[in-house]
Structure 1
Amino acid sequence: MRATLRTLLGVALTVGGLVVVVEPALAAGPCNVNLTRTTPGGYIAKMSCSKPNAFIDGYGSTTGDANREGLLLRQFQNNTGTLCSGNLSRAAVGGFEVKMSCSKPDSFVDAFGTTLTDAAREARLLKEIAPGRHCGHSLVRAVQGGYQVKGSCSKPTVFFSGVGATVTQAAENARLSSGVG
């Protein structure tokens, strides 16, 4: 099977008359969860990974969600070279906030969600829509019929907001309204 994969990966594809050579993707080293601990809204899965070496904290409402969010941050690192890790969670209006720090370029991302898993996912997705920019949520508040989430991105600066029946829905709508990505 390994030889078949190498053959398939090394094959030149013809797409609309254009020849594209597909090279094998670089394999990332394994990750291990060294510790889980509680945090407001759920859990942190503290992971260490190799090749390239990284320490990543995943946040989630359950240990499984925390582990998955950490592994998705690892996948983002492998795809972009940007290493991100959660570094704080706390209760917020209607749910939770996750703070995440990233490198290359250095940035911080704050995001809101109804659950801790939702907040962690929104932080990751905010970084994924614009890896080279600083994007994040800055405010969550109750409004008639639900919640409003406001945010911004830099370079160039854009402000965005969204509303929804839940904080997660408002956060998703805010991200989608950013026009970034």
Structure 2
Amino acid sequence: MATPQEGGSADPRDMSVFILEGPRLPLPPATPEPATAAARMPLTIRGAWESFILPPAPAEPPPLKRFKERAAVPASALSDGSIRIRFRHPATAKPPPRLAVFALPAVLHPDLLDRPRDVCFCLTQADGTRIHGAAVQLCDVLDDGDGDEGEVVLRALVLLSRWPVYEMWQTLLHSIFAQRDALWPANCP
């Protein structure tokens, strides 16, 4: 096999990049913020003096986050048939089966909708070959123009390689993501 230095083409199994896009999913319901009690102003001079010299009542701790804010992504949303491959490099690269299960988020959470998340994984093919993967997961809130933000779309920028150098792949993926306006393929959102 010819190496890239000798003028041949690289083996597509050495490294491949994909942009995956999942289906539209409903946005998980956010719990309302707890109402803050209005501070009562003293009505008398004695009340004002006591509020000045007495220590304030201890503040209540913030309520614990509830798990109902989280919504699991249905398994059917991560099946190979419901995933679109928006970009692939090399052009002949074929993603391994069920790649979306590893690369796309499995849980939606309101606090994490605007930040990309990193994930690393290792896949073992039927012949025993290991493929190491790194992905930047995105949950993009869809804006349909009427002010209703009720759906999200899951996306992932995925790099697959034979070599387990996850930190380097994460740095590369974040560099691509940071420069997405210049580097992103034209047909990708």
TM-score with structure 1 setting the length: 0.25
Larger radius of gyration: 2
TM-score with structure 2 setting the length: 0.24
Which structure is higher in strand share?
Answer: 1
